[in-house]
Amino acid sequence: MDSDLNIAEPDLPPSKPLRLLLGRNFGPYFLGNLMSNMGTWIQNIALALLIFRLTGSTFLVAMTTFSQFLGIIVLAPWTGSVADRFDRRGLIVLTQVSATLAGGMLALVTYLDLVTPAWLLGTALAFSITKAFVLPAQQALVPQLVERKDLQAAVALNAITFNLARAIGPVIGAGVILTLGFTWAFSINALSYLSLAAAVMIVKVDPRRRHRPTERTTLRETIRLVRRDPIIGPLLIAIAAVSVAVDPVSNLTPAFAVEIYGRPDTFTGVLIGVFGLGAALTAALVITRIRASFRSIALGMTGLGLSIAAFGMSSHPNMGIAALFAGGIMYIVSVSLSTTLVQINTAEDHRGRVMALWGVAFLGLRPVASLIDGSVATLVNVRVAALVMAVPVLVGAASLARRNRRSGQP
């Protein structure tokens, strides 16, 4: 891993995202990943609404989110190593087929009217296990699909699939639930996993870019390397702070929709959707033009913290929509630029393991965050919960800005 803080690459010509989308490899991967993420967000809104209707508990909504991401933390010591030592495309196909089976079972149980909170929590945990294996494999595969000069654009486009799905998926999910019911929502998600499996079967990786470590490296050794690295360590901490800050977008929006804004619970889809829309538009139109640096990431994190705080203090749905749209913009700036720098500064020998740590930072801390904001919302109120979750990202922004000043970077 590099230790030089001059991490931007201004000497490389700017990438053209459209060229990547039309490419033989990245295009199919982008489309398959988008469809899969779309289904995931349809399911996310369905899980949140169904368990909220069954129990009326914001805490159990948070527990569902906890279950969805628990596997990423628990299995991280193994999943990164698996992504490094085995064929990444085959691993993605296997996990997506497994997720399809789990989603189909949930749809069947819902159709038979046998669904319970325990079923929802158990299925969410099953999805988290498949996610734990597919996440480092996907992230490690992206650099194998593009040239190095295209990496920032590829990371941004990869982020678009998640955030465009975040923008559209909840709205579609709410519409499907209103018109067709929860069974259809879970069924659509189950089938969506097959789109990513099909996509990775189409793409071809240059044999010269395939890499298998010649000797086993433990996760502990990778963590030691990351801790010593002046770039990757702080960036993973920054990504973790961002992940904590955006947890209210999923967990608190049902309560905000009903209790604060006086709207039906399906308004949750609009609130989550505008956050994703802000992120997707920024990733598509702006992010490849921003120089990746600690300074730009710190600015994005500051904006995100202020946006989540504004959402927590909002009393009208229009105020909440505006705050979440701005939050989506700042979120994608923070995450996309941080991920770009992590990818650029990671040696191929450790890529799967480092991206497993990235997965822990990006998604794996969500269970802890969900328990915190769910507990605060239950014990105090949802406004205070949102404000509490904005604190870590603001602290992280200040720390990253201080590191940037010490390094003398612009």
Q: Is residue 198 part of a domain?
A: yes
pLDDT of residue 390: 92
User: Is pLDDT above 80 for 86?
Assistant: no
Radius of gyration of the chain (CA): 20
Q: What are the pLDDT digits (tens) for 123-156?
A: 889 988 998 888 888 888 888 887 777 777 777 7
Angle of helix 117-145 relative to helix 58-85, nearest 10 degrees? 40
Average pLDDT score over the chain? 82
Contacts of residue 369, Cβ cutoff 8 Å, sequence gap at least 6: 243, 244, 247, 389
Is residue 186 within 8 A of residue 46, CB to CB? The reply is yes
Give per-residue pLDDT as tens, 347-367. 777 777 788 788 788 876 777
Q: Looking at mean pLDDT, say which of 15-29, 93-107, 205-219, 263-277 comes out highest.
A: 93-107
Q: What is the mean pLDDT of residues 91-96?
A: 91
Q: Say yes or no to pLDDT of 216 above 60.
A: no
The pLDDT, as a whole number, for residue 218 is 61
Q: Which one of 138-142, 271-275, 323-327 scores highest in mean pLDDT?
A: 323-327
pLDDT band at 188 (very low <50, low <70, confident <90, very high): very high
Is 7 a domain residue?
no
CA distance 146 to 153: 9
Crossing angle for the helix pair 366-379 and 382-407, to the nearest 10 degrees = 140
Give pLDDT, residue 67: 84
The answer to the question of residue 213 being in a domain is: no
Q: What is the mean pLDDT of residues 302-311?
A: 95
Asked if 283 and 159 touch (Cβ cutoff 8 Å), the reply is yes
Residue 10 maps to a domain: no
Residue 113 gets the label, from left (phi > 0), alpha (psi -120 to 50) or beta, of left
Q: pTM, whole model, 2 decimals?
A: 0.74
Report pLDDT for 280.
77
Q: What is the DSSP string of 209-247?
A: G----SS---HHHHHHHHHH-TTHHHHHHHHHHHHHHTH
Query: What CATH number is associated with residue 319?
Result: 1.20.1250.20
Mean pLDDT of 272-286: 80
Does any domain span residue 46?
yes
Pair of tokens at residue 397:
């922004």
368 pLDDT more than 60: yes
In which domain, by residue range, is 224 found? 17-203+218-407
Which range has the top average pLDDT, 277-281, 302-306, 376-380? 302-306
Mean pLDDT of 61-76: 79
Across residues 290-294, what is the average pLDDT?
80
- Percent of the chain, pLDDT > 70? 88
Model confidence band, residue 408 (pLDDT cutoffs 50, 70, 90): low
Q: d(Cα 80, Cα 132) in Å, to the nearest integer?
A: 9
Q: Can you tell me the distance from the alpha carbon of 326 to that of 246, in angstroms, rounded to the nearest whole number?
A: 12
| Dist CA 56 CA 53 (whole Å) | 6
pLDDT above 70 (res 389): yes
Domain count, the chain: 1
Counting Cα atoms < 13 Å in the Cβ hemisphere of 9 gives 17
